[in-house]
Amino acid sequence: MKVSVKKLIVYIIASVILVPFIYVVIPMWLISISESLNIFKISFVGQEVVGAIIFLAGLILFPYCSSIFFKHGERTPLFTETEGKFFKNGIYEKTRNPMYVGHVLVALGIFVWHGSLLLLGYAFVGWLILQSYLIFIEEPQLIARYGKTYKEYMGLVPRWI
């Protein structure tokens, strides 16, 4: 693995600051708003268990995908990372963006767990932002960087699932 210590530190700091903000602070704020405005909540038997399973499935993808980036791509998975090798190992053979799938699963898990429609909207907006980022920014950059190899990969492996 040829990831520099500086890049690894930036990755760890981003993970420690951004992930809790996105998946704890904002959802707690939306839950508070939902409860104070008495917004309708979806409720069913076992929803906390189902939500936890979806949440954990998404959460597990983060370290798994990161390990693939470190091992095969020789870089961190931060979207600001512009260097490294092209790879399609492990789960990247099934989806081009498993880490983003993980983000969506975590957000949907939080929604299912709590049932707040504001959280469903939050998950949808997050997916829409990721989808737009992929189409208009990341994919063109990857095509420019890896050329025909990435275009062939796009034809064989779906963007999501």
10-residue mean pLDDT series, the chain (161 residues): 72 82 94 95 97 96 85 72 80 94 96 96 96 95 93 97 86
**What is d(CA 53, CA 62) in angstroms, rounded to the nearest whole number?**
15
Judge contact between 146 and 138, C-beta under 8 A. no
Instruction: List, in order of start, the domains of the chain with CATH numbers.
Output: 5-156 (1.20.120.1630)
Single-letter residue type at 38: N
- pTM across the whole model: 0.88
How many Å apart are CA 118 and CA 31, to the nearest integer?
8
Instruction: Give me the pLDDT at residue 137, please.
Output: 93
For residue 110, give every residue at least 6 positions away whose Cβ sits within 8 Å of its Cβ, in sequence order, or none. Answer: 23, 27, 51, 55, 119, 123
How many Å apart are CA 4 and CA 12, to the nearest integer? 12
Q: Are 116 and 31 contacting, i.e. CB atoms less than 8 angstroms apart? A: yes
State the DSSP code for 120: H
Rounded Cα gap, residues 120 and 78, in angstroms: 25
Burial class (CB in 10 A: 0-12, 13-18, 19+), 128: exposed
